[in-house]
Amino acid sequence: MSAFPEELSPVMVAGIIGALVAVPFMWKFAVSKKQESQPMCNLSIKKDSPKVVDTICMQDIEDADKKVMCRCWRSAKFPYCDGSHTKHNELTGDNVGPLIVKK
């Protein structure tokens, strides 16, 4: 006489136990991947502000003929480019460059 009912074979019991052990680990892995944060692009500019927004007057562009705007978030003169993207690109292998606005 078997210790298990006919409907519940030892293989089925092993499968159930395996699932009960594995599911919490799989759940933790899936949830931790979703909660993993992405790296920030803005490391130092206006960190006290909830959103960085800069406005450039068209008159300023017309007076200067063009404006070179930072897109790497590393410029000490943000929102204007100071060439910081060059070092950033060398260190990271990135290819970011400025936005040039002309009249």
Catalytic residues: 51
Q: What sign has the CA pseudo-torsion 34, 35, 41, 42?
A: positive
Spatial contact of 68 and 98, defined as CB atoms under 8 Å apart: yes
Q: How far apart are CA 28 and CA 41, in angstroms?
A: 28
3 state SS of 100: strand
Place of tokens 């990271």: 92
